[in-house]
Amino acid sequence: MSHRFACEVYYEDTDLSGFVYHANYLKFIERARSAWVAGLGVDQNAMREAGLVFAVRRIEADFLAPARLGDALEVQTEVASQTAARMVLAQRVMKDGVALFGAQVTLVAMGTGGRPVRLPEALRGALDAG
């Protein structure tokens, strides 16, 4: 199951060189993950109210080529692996079919006490169906 999220590079995303500032790629992939989860029918506000949140446990990132002001980008998100309490996502920021940035993102579900818990049933069901 692959999710695609379109975004554009704005002036605020760039540094003095006119390239996307490196930390902003993390914002792009975060927005794509939020859209992906919502598209699966998982309400993160309801999760939080129930005492459950997602947390990034680990990110491994590769900066492959620069994006520039005005570029139309696409973030591709795929589940690389999952267990009962975590999932690893492969995310790529693409421009015209060329990968500019890639990341392996490990997410865990956490309860109010900050301890890992099982991924939400709605999410596990959506992932198993996909």
Catalytic site residue from 13, 15, 96, 128: 15
What 8-state DSSP symbol labels residue 112? T
Radius of gyration of the CA atoms of the chain, in A: 15
Cα 106 to Cα 82: distance, rounded to the nearest angstrom? 9
Task: Burial-class residue 67 by CB neighbours within 10 Å (0-12, 13-18, 19+).
Answer: buried
The yes-or-no answer on residue 62 being catalytic is: no
**Region at 96 (left for phi over 0; alpha for psi -120 to 50; beta for the rest):** left
CA distance 65 to 90: 17
Residues carrying an active site annotation: 15
